[in-house]
Chain A
């Protein structure tokens, strides 16, 4: 069974950084593109970006490219999202997803507030 479990969320102060993790299991992690999507409270889905199997190609939504960094560790079957210079607009549930196959994690909440 494909399983994606996000962690690392919580309350963070404005201007600070936070790194989310997504632990993958039940499939060959290094065979798939992986990505992140977020959802602000009461709002729709926003695609953040995707990374290919060997990390040689990473695509971002332009508005987040300078503050978010996607990476992966194939040996640890883990996907990461490094977020910097966080503001209240980054308060959201963050989902990791196996690209193109419809498998999503349950999401992790990030709240940016002083």
Chain B
């Protein structure tokens, strides 16, 4: 199985500051078709996860442009510019290159 490892945030994050969440995969998620098979989700308290980013850097419909995804084949970053109250929750990366699909352990964002 592909193991996904997420980094921690130096919480709490001051409102209006930027935050970067890292994720590392045990195998390259870059397919021969040129796409990188990585999703980012946000799970707000008490809610279902919401898809933010797919194909490593494509924002899902309706997602603020304050969210951006980048990376290489095995190292990925989700950047949140100008953190707001609605960004509070747990962020998860997920690979969908192979079965079983696997998630990172989650990164909690708290607001100052």
A residues adjacent to B (C-beta < 8 A): 35, 37, 44-47, 49-50, 59-62, 95, 100-102, 104-107
Contacts and interface: CB of A to CB of B under 8 A. Distances in A.
B103 A104 contact: no
Contacts of A46: 103
A102 B48 contact: no
Contact of A106 (B43, B48, B51, B102): B48
B48 A60 contact: no
Contacts of B50: 102, 104
Interface residues of B, number: 22
Interface of B: 1, 39, 41, 43, 48-51, 54, 60, 90, 92, 94, 96, 99-106
B48 A44 contact: no
A104 B102 contact: no
Contacts of B103: 44-47
